[in-house]
């Protein structure tokens, strides 16, 4: 091998990196110390904040106001507590099948002859619509109209009753109307002459029972109510989807469901086991901004509070509404509103702020709980490494709640 031809670049060499000058390490260390200092200042003095909620013992306070909701006004509340509202109207239909639960006796009606007597001086007409009450308590009707002749005076001066025979039948089918001979009176006739105008029956018979299933009026009413209850929430959802603001609400008290049309596959007393019904209905509603109304009523309540009482800043209260008058055709509803609030002892939050600044959470809590009427306290720290109340009053927020 010719060692002379070996190029020096092809030989292997080991290189040792030059040592970093001490000055570079010092710069890095100084930069890290600076970052740590900035971090400490930010999270101990600048960024930390705390929100303290002080829970006080509360009393109930309520007051009633007369409010008019009117779709014809806009903007703020006008004189006379007239409050702007919006009118909505949607239509829809629903249908369903329902069971017939009614019962009808389709057997035969009892019948028989009756002899009427009239001991008065005036004739008495009896129509097919006039009830005839048997001494058994059952009701019958004439098959054909008649007139009971007036009484006559005999040659001997005696009263001879007017008399006529008619045929009657029971009010309904059934064996209960099969009765022995008895007296029938005409309830429509004055009580004082019912013993002078009456009838005497022969045996009443032929009544039989055959119970069949039919559609009752109650079945039809219940079917319409059921369909209305099913359709109403669907129409309310349609209106809710049209409402733009979350604070605008639709109360059930301010809605009306109007039935426009009812189609049913059968009529009352028809012999069927089930039937179909369809309704078309329109839901009308008046919608208002409840948050704005609550704020308005709260401003009025604050004027009526005693000087030593207050309402929490974020407490808008609860509203209980009673409808007095409603005319959705005009878009106007008069309501009575009972505004309910939790009233707290008046508290100077600036004093609390000044007293807890710079304290640790445990000491601040102990101080707050020592105050009169305080039930509890909640501390929520933000960007705070030490759980310590900031010294900067602007970083301390005090809320009062119940």
The rounded distance, in Å, linking the Cα atoms of 400 and 402 is 7
Domain residues of the chain, as ranges?
Answer: 107-209
For residues 303-314, give the mean pLDDT.
87
Stretch among 91-100, 136-145, 380-389 having the lowest mean pLDDT: 380-389
Predicted local confidence at residue 22, as pLDDT: 66
Q: What is the pLDDT of residues 73-112, one digit of tens each?
A: 887 777 789 999 999 999 999 999 999 999 888 899 999 9
Given a cut of 90, whether residue 39 has pLDDT beyond it is no
Cα–chain-centroid distance for residue 280? 22
- Residue-wise pLDDT for 201-235, tens only, equals 999 999 999 999 999 999 999 999 999 999 999 99
Question: Quick one: residue 61, left, alpha or beta (phi over 0 = left, psi -120 to 50 = alpha)?
Answer: beta
If one counts every other C-beta atom within 10 angstroms of the C-beta of residue 335, the result is 23
Tell me how far apart the alpha carbons of residues 220 and 47 are, in angstroms, rounded to a whole number.
70
User: Would you place residue 386 in the very low, low, confident or very high pLDDT band (cuts 50, 70, 90)?
Assistant: confident
Name, of 11-15, 32-36, 347-351, the range with top average pLDDT.
347-351
User: Longest Cα pair distance anywhere in the chain, in angstroms?
Assistant: 184
1: pLDDT confidence band, cut at 50, 70 and 90? very low
Binned at pLDDT 50, 70 and 90, residue 41 comes out as: low
Question: What DSSP string runs through 106-127?
Answer: -SPEEEEEEEEEE-SSS-EEE-
- What tokens were used for 319? 């509203």
Burial class (CB within 10 angstroms; exposed 0-12, middle 13-18, buried 19+) of 110: buried
Worst-scoring range by mean pLDDT, 71-75, 124-128, 204-208, 234-238? Answer: 71-75
CA distances in angstroms from 87 to 78, 163, 248, 307, 332, listed in the order given:
18, 70, 12, 40, 9
Helix 349-356 to helix 361-369 angle (10° resolution) is 140
**Structure confidence at residue 45 (pLDDT):** 64
- Two tokens, residue 368: 């707050």
pLDDT at residue 111, as a whole number: 97
Q: Which long-range contacts (CB under 8 A, 24 or more apart) does 184-193 make?
A: 184/114, 184/132, 184/133, 184/134, 184/135, 184/140, 185/132, 185/133, 186/124, 186/126, 186/130, 186/131, 186/132, 186/133, 187/131, 187/133, 188/130, 188/131, 189/124, 193/120
With 0.75 as the threshold, say if the pTM is over it.
no
pLDDT in tens, 246-284: 889 999 999 999 999 999 999 998 889 999 999 999 999
| 43 pLDDT above the threshold of 80 | no
Give the H or E element holding residue 399: strand 396-401
pLDDT value of position 223: 96
Question: Mean pLDDT over residues 146-162, rounded?
Answer: 93
Mean of pLDDT values over 375-400 = 87
The tens digit of pLDDT for each residue in 25-35 reads 777 777 777 67
Q: Which of 225, 340, 348, 250 is nearest to 294 (CA)?
A: 340
Q: For residue 86, what are its two tokens?
A: 């919006």
Confidence class for position 3, pLDDT limits 50, 70, 90 = very low
The mean predicted confidence, pLDDT, of the chain is 89
pLDDT of residue 11: 47
Q: Which helix (H) or strand (E) holds 355?
A: helix 349-356
Average pLDDT on 304-316 reads 87
Binning pLDDT at 50, 70 and 90, where does residue 304 land? Answer: confident
Query: What percent of the chain clears pLDDT 90, i.e. is strictly above it?
Result: 63
Least Cα distance to 342 among 65, 59, 62, 64 occurs for 59
pLDDT higher than threshold 70 for residue 38:
no
């Amino acid at each position: 091998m010719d060692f002379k031809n070996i190029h020096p670049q092809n030989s292997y060499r080991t290189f040792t990196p030059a040592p970093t000058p001490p000055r570079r390490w010092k710069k890095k260390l100084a930069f890290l110390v600076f970052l740590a200092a900035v971090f400490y200042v930010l999270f101990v003095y600048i960024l930390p904040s705390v929100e303290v909620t002080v829970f006080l013992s509360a009393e109930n306070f309520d007051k009633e106001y007369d409010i008019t909701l009117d779709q014809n006004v806009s903007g703020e509340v006008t004189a006379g507590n007239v409050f702007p509202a919006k009118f909505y109207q949607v239509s829809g239909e629903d249908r369903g099948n329902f069971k017939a639960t009614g019962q009808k006796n389709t057997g035969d009606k009892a019948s028989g002859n009756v002899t009427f007597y009239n001991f008065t001086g005036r004739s008495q007409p009896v129509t097919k619509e006039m009830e005839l009450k048997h001494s058994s308590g059952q009701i019958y009707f004439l098959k054909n109209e008649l007139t009971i002749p007036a009484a006559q005076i005999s040659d001997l001066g005696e009263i001879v009753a007017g008399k006529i025979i008619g045929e009657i039948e029971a009010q309904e089918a059934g064996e209960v109307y099969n009765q022995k001979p008895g007296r029938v009176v005409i309830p429509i006739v004055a009580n004082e002459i019912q013993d002078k105008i009456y009838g005497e029956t022969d045996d009443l018979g032929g009544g039989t029972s055959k119970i069949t299933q039919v559609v009752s009026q109650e079945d039809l009413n219940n079917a319409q109510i059921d369909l209305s209850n099913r359709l109403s929430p669907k129409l309310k959802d349609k209106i809710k989807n049209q409402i733009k603001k979350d604070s605008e609400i639709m109360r059930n008290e301010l809605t009306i469901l109007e039935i426009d049309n009812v189609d049913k596959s059968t009529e009352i007393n028809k012999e069927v086991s089930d039937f179909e019904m369809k309704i078309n209905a329109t839901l009308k509603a008046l919608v208002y901004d409840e948050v704005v109304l609550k704020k308005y009523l709260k401003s009025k309540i604050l004027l009526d509070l005693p000087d030593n009482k207050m309402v929490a800043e974020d407490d808008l209260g609860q509203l209980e509404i009673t409808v007095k008058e409603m005319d959705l055709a005009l878009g106007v509803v008069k309501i009575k509103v009972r505004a309910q609030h939790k009233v707290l002892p008046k508290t100077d939050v600036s004093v609390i702020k000044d007293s807890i600044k710079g304290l640790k959470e445990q000491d601040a809590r102990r101080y707050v709980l020592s105050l009169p009427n305080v039930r509890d306290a909640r501390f929520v720290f933000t960007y705070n490494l030490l759980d310590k109340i900031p010294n900067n009053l602007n970083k301390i927020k005090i809320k009062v709640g119940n």
